[in-house]
Amino acid sequence: MNQSPASTLFLNRELGLLAFNRRVLQMAESNDTPLLERLRYLCIVSSNLDEFFEIRVAGLKQQISQGVAESGPDGLSPAEVFQKVCIESHALIDHQYALLNDVVLPRLAMEGICFHRRGHWTEAQRAWARDYFFREIMPVLTPIGLDTAHPFPRILNKSLNFAVELSGKDAFGRNSDNAVVQAPRTLPRFIRLPPDIAGCPYGFIFLSSILHANVGELFQGMEVEGCYQFRVTRNSELFLEEEEAKNLRLILQGELSHRQFGDEVRLEVAENCSDSMARFLLGTFGLDENDLYRVNGPVNLVRLMQVADMVDRPDLRFPRFTQSMPREFEKQPDLFAAIRKKDVLLHHPFQSFAPVVEFVRKAASDPQVQAIKQTVYRAGTDSELIDALIDAARQGKEVTVVVELLARFDEEANINWAAKLEEAGAHVVYGVFGYKTHAKMCMVIRREAGVLRRYVHLGTGNYHSKTTKLYTDFGLFTADGQITADVNEIFLQITGLGRHPGLKRLFQSPFTLHSELSSAIAREITHARAGRRARIIAKMNALTEPTIIESLYAAGQAGVRVDLIVRGVCLLRPGVPGLSERIRVVSIIGRFLEHHRVFYFHNGGADDIFMSSADWMERNFFRRIEACVPILEPGIKRRMMAEGLRPYLRDNVQSWEMNGQGEYRRRSARGGRQFSAHDFLLERYSQKPQ
């Protein structure tokens, strides 16, 4: 490969994340997106940005405070990245709120879904809001006047608060200029008005509007000069030392409470916040102007996600669809018999997750089943599958569950599940310290005709019933002897100690996945140099690992055609003359969150296809336990090409193509026939069982 400076080879990860959120915001901007879904996409951007600041920006600020000046693979120092991130973030958030105020809210109002602003209340609405304030809000508030005896209160991460400017003296003769009112998290952030008061079918008032209108009641005898909502975002990364972590669950439970009070990284205030109050808050939190975000609306849009579910207007949402069942299970209701006969592929969300839950349920009640082993990364707070595991343990099955306690922002839910599983008698382990268990594996061991047979489910996504209706993922049921033996070996590695023999079929992080994928790319290079057809197609959520990117550059330069379908961050520069002309990168942003990881290598006509839990990122290759499984059955290979790869390369409706500068342009049909991968798959599965 041609030698080039690192800065010309790699894009920046943080800027790539912001570019991804710009693409999500385009879904809110598009007239083709149903109106309530447009509101939902606005909220998704806010949720994504919260995590971006809590983790990525917090990390940058920490590096800067520690004096780290070393450039990353993109040639930028932490300080340079931070400045670019500030510029991009401010522009993105300004665009988001302009879209909310100028487009989405007015169009919702035209549909009878109104958010009544304080300056436009009718007398009836004002009276209703005042009554609601005295009845539901004021009793739970604790206003704090700031003086020597009342220091600035601790502000929870991402909580809603109000900074109040005051004049005059109170009953004790005190004349504090400022006060803080914290909104308890139990209070709703918006309240639905009765239709006769609202004057429309669905009328809402923001909690902040009610409090603004009545804040004087909290400071009797004083003048309220200003009241401004604000929110602080804090560093939410958890730091655990292995030497101190004698019991990971207990240590983590203590550490989670500290997340609410990590270092401040962002201050959001109302657009009308006075300069003096903004300076006061910035000084209080040790932030500067770069960290200040003035917003024209609620400082937290995430809560508005609930509106899309509260409003009964199916015509303003994506059309409903019914998830289908695999024909293998319709022909043969006995799951174990069906899996013995042939491998079975599930494609979510188009096919139901129910067979996976039923797989564990049947195992729980089947007297021939001896043991169940399962990994849990994200399962949610309400999980039918974990309930089935608990039931299996109570029925005396040997149940082993590897619960990843450090699944970011799911730690509390996983701690709770771990405790319930242990109470039921399951063996619960927390993986290997320093390596997140991200592999998605479930194994059932059954005694048949006097011998033990293993059945396995492997997935690209989490065992989370809710997200399987929203995320695109593949799941594979198999009884293949070598694959199931490999899965068993991985479980032994995680739960026990010692070295285990190499795997026969699966590639595994942190041991073989990186080297095997590098070898697969190298084989395509060899084929191309020999004049044979060479092709790589890879679909994933993120591509950031430098040596894999360099290998892909080398492949392209050798004549290999490379198509990459990367939903989120991609640090590779496609289409650069002399570097990557034969490499194309597209991102699909549509109704469903693209989540499956599928890798195809032509390999001289062998057509090797793999599905994996791992993205092509350094953490997935070297700091996580991941599984990558080859697809062996020709019929399933054809399906994965026909459903998991080709439609996404063909998409010209929800597809964005990336250039060498990291900029994305939406692909268009250009007078031809429009093709949406999601619509194609919905139609495919609505016609007949697959």
Are residues 297 and 100 in contact, defined by beta-carbon separation less than 8 angstroms?
Answer: yes
Asked if pLDDT for residue 221 goes beyond 80, the answer is yes
Determine the average pLDDT of the residues in 181-208: 94
Q: DSSP 3-state assignment of 187?
A: coil
Are residues 85 and 57 in contact, defined by beta-carbon separation less than 8 angstroms?
Answer: yes
Delimiting residues of CATH 3.30.870.10 domain(s) in the chain: 327-500, 508-687
Which has more confidence, 257 or 572?
572
Query: CA–CA separation, 340 vs 410, rounded Å?
Result: 35
Residue closest to 571 by CA, chosen among 540, 600, 594: 540
Candidates 3.30.390.30, 3.40.50.880, 3.90.230.10, 3.30.1840.10; correct CATH number of 6-316?
Answer: 3.30.1840.10
Instruction: Give the list of residues 6+ apart from residue 441 with CB closer than 8 angstroms, or none.
Output: 373, 374, 375, 456, 457, 458, 459, 487, 490, 491, 627
Determine the average pLDDT of the residues in 104-119: 96
* pLDDT tens column, 334-384: 999 999 999 999 999 999 999 999 999 999 999 999 999 999 999 888 899
pLDDT of residue 501: 77
Query: CA–CA separation, 587 vs 540, rounded Å?
Result: 10
* pLDDT tens column, 661-683: 999 999 987 767 899 999 999 99
* pLDDT tens column, 616-656: 999 999 999 999 999 999 999 999 999 999 999 999 999 99
pTM: 0.93
* pLDDT tens column, 39-72: 999 999 999 999 999 999 999 999 999 998 888 8
* Yes or no: domain 508-687 corresponds to CATH 3.30.870.10: yes
Asked if pLDDT for residue 18 goes beyond 90, the answer is yes
Are residues 54 and 233 in contact, defined by beta-carbon separation less than 8 angstroms?
Answer: yes
* pLDDT tens column, 427-438: 999 888 889 999
Determine the average pLDDT of the residues in 287-304: 95
CATH class of the region 327-500: alpha beta
Query: CA–CA separation, 211 vs 222, rounded Å?
Result: 16
E strand spans, 489-648: 507-509, 535-540, 561-566, 583-588, 593-594, 597-601, 608-612, 624-630
Length of the chain (residues):
690
* pLDDT tens column, 187-199: 999 999 999 999 9
Give catalytic residue positions: 438
Asked if pLDDT for residue 279 goes beyond 90, the answer is yes
pLDDT of residue 2: 47
Are residues 667 and 656 in contact, defined by beta-carbon separation less than 8 angstroms?
Answer: yes
Are residues 542 and 565 in contact, defined by beta-carbon separation less than 8 angstroms?
Answer: no
Delimiting residues of CATH 3.30.1840.10 domain(s) in the chain: 6-316
Neighbours of 171 (CB within 10 A): 8
Phi, psi of 337 (to 5 degrees): -65, -40
* pLDDT tens column, 398-417: 999 999 887 777 778 888 88
Query: CA–CA separation, 513 vs 517, rounded Å?
Result: 6
pLDDT of residue 315: 96
Q: Residue 350: is it exposed, middle or buried by C-beta count within 10 angstroms (0-12/13-18/19+)? A: buried
pLDDT of residue 531: 96
Asked if pLDDT for residue 258 goes beyond 80, the answer is no
